[in-house]
């Protein structure tokens, strides 16, 4: 079988699979809406509506549990851009943890994690970067890539505007892990710890190979096509995002612009490869958290990442049993308490060791040593 025939065969199989995925997604969501209405899940509906409110008025309040001041507002940063911020301000002398959204996250999705993390005056900053939550709703439908290096600059500007001068503890989930890694390399003096939760390290090999095959097929069949390889890559990437993400990440359908924004976020980070930059990470800075039931990132990918990070930069690695990719939602209490131990400077998490445990065990173990996590 020649190359073109083989490419056509693979393309047919791929398109058929994507079409079937789209039909399944339509069936799932078409049948779930009446069920939601029937069950009158008002709290969830209210949460979705509030998540994208554009005329949000600034709110300064006291946290009911910690009594710390809490700011919820749009904050102007560089270039007149505005980001929505939910900031639990630290007590005097206390550190700040910055939560970096996963690809489809928004500030509210962190609620259960924050509930477990807060206390003892710890500052917690969560915000919607470009392409997320209220910031997306206010800034409008994106029509170009949301570049990851611009997200890094935005975070730096935000910290400055909020008057956060001390080095922060970055917690980055998935996409947020890529942003956190880039930020730490760009501004090493502003980061006390980089805590990577199931981080994005590079495009998925299978997806990348599929797209490159489509590009090769296009070149063979339409040699006069004027589009560049980058343009073709983004064209096929968008097809994959639109056809498959609604099925595996239903949250992308909660706002009319979110699916397009998700594509623009992927488009803006797709050239990031952790293996090319981790050697620039500062000493004693990196903590890795791995979900052993991760449905998106194979364990070997994060095993390779840990080996690629220089030993001088490694602090701790935790493998969380029975956790899926979104660790803050799957294991909010266990993961929050582990983050707090890192922030508080637990010496057992500063020598590059690997730990394993989870909520059901109530502890993490490394060799014969155990750390109770409750």
Write a three-state SS string for 297-349.
CCHHHHHHHHHHCCCCCEEEEEEECCCCCCHHHHCHHHHHHHHHHHHCCCHHH
Taking the C-alpha atoms of residue 277 and residue 369, their distance in angstroms, rounded to an integer, is 33
Q: What are phi and psi of 356, to 5 degrees?
A: -140, 135
The residue behind tokens 């602090």 is 315
Give the residue from 307, 232, 246, 2 showing the smallest Cα distance to 104. Answer: 246
| Phi and psi torsions of 240, nearest 5° | -65, -45
Residue 47, Cα to own-chain centre: how many angstroms? 20
Residue numbers in the chain where pLDDT is lower than 50 = 1-37, 40, 42-43
Can you give the pLDDT at residue 57? 85
pTM (whole model) above 0.85: yes
Q: What does the domain layout of the chain look like in residue ranges?
A: 3-40+203-269, 50-202+272-372
Question: Distances in Å between the alpha carbon of 98 and those of 127, 177, 346?
Answer: 9, 12, 19
Q: Give the CATH architecture of domain 50-202+272-372.
A: 3-Layer(aba) Sandwich (3.40)
pLDDT in tens, 221-254: 999 999 999 999 999 999 999 999 999 999 999 9
Task: Please write the tens of the pLDDT for every residue from 73-106.
Answer: 999 999 989 999 999 999 999 999 999 999 999 9
Instruction: Identify the H or E element spanning 197.
Output: strand 191-197
Write down the pLDDT at residue 49: 59
Give strand ranges (E) for the chain.
59-62, 69-76, 82-88, 96-100, 123-128, 168-173, 191-197, 286-291, 314-320, 353-358, 363-366, 369-372
Residues 42 and 319: their CA atoms lie apart, in Å, by 36
* CA 245/CA 262 separation, integer angstroms: 9
Strands 286-291 and 369-372: unpaired
Number of residues in the chain? 374
State the pLDDT at residue 56: 76
Q: What pLDDT score does 33 carry? A: 44
The C-alpha angle 208, 263, 82, rounded to 5 degrees, equals 135
DSSP-assigned beta bridge partners for residue 126: 86, 99
């Amino acid at each position: 079988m020649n190359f073109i025939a083989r490419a056509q065969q693979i393309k047919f199989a791929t398109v058929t699979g994507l079409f079937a995925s789209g039909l399944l997604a339509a069936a799932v969501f078409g049948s779930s809406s009446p069920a939601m209405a029937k069950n009158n899940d008002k709290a969830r509906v209210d949460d979705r509506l509030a998540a994208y409110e554009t005329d949000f008025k600034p709110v300064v309040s006291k946290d009911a549990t910690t009594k710390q001041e809490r700011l919820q507002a749009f904050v102007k940063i560089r270039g007149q851009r505005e980001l929505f911020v939910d900031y639990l301000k630290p007590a005097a002398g206390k550190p700040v943890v910055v939560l970096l959204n996963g690809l489809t996250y928004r500030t509210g999705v962190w609620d259960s994690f924050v509930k477990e993390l807060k206390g003892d005056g710890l500052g917690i900053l969560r915000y919607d970067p470009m392409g997320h939550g209220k910031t997306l709703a206010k800034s409008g439908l994106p029509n170009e890539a949301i570049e990851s290096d611009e997200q890094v600059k935005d975070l730096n500007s935000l910290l400055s505007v909020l008057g956060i001068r001390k080095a922060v503890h970055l917690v980055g989930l998935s996409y947020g892990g890529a942003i956190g890694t880039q930020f730490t390399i760009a501004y090493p003096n502003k980061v006390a710890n980089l805590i990577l939760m199931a981080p994005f390290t590079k495009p998925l090999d299978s997806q990348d190979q599929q797209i490159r095959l489509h590009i090769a097929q296009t070149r063979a069949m339409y040699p006069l096509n004027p589009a560049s390889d980058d343009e073709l890559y983004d064209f096929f990437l968008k097809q994959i995002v639109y056809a498959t993400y609604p099925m595996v990440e239903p949250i992308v359908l909660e706002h009319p612009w979110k699916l397009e924004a998700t594509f623009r976020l992927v488009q803006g980070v797709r050239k990031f490869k952790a293996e090319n930059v981790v050697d620039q990470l500062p000493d004693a800075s990196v903590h890795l958290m791995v979900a052993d039931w991760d449905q998106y990132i194979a364990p070997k990918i994060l095993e390779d990442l840990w080996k690629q990070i220089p030993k001088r930069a490694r602090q701790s690695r935790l493998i969380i049993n029975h956790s899926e990719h979104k660790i803050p939602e799957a294991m909010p209490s266990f993961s929050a308490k582990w983050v707090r131990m890192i922030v508080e400077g637990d010496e057992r998490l500063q020598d590059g060791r690997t730990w394993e445990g989870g909520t059901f065990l109530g502890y993490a173990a490394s060799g014969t040593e155990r750390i109770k996590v409750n």
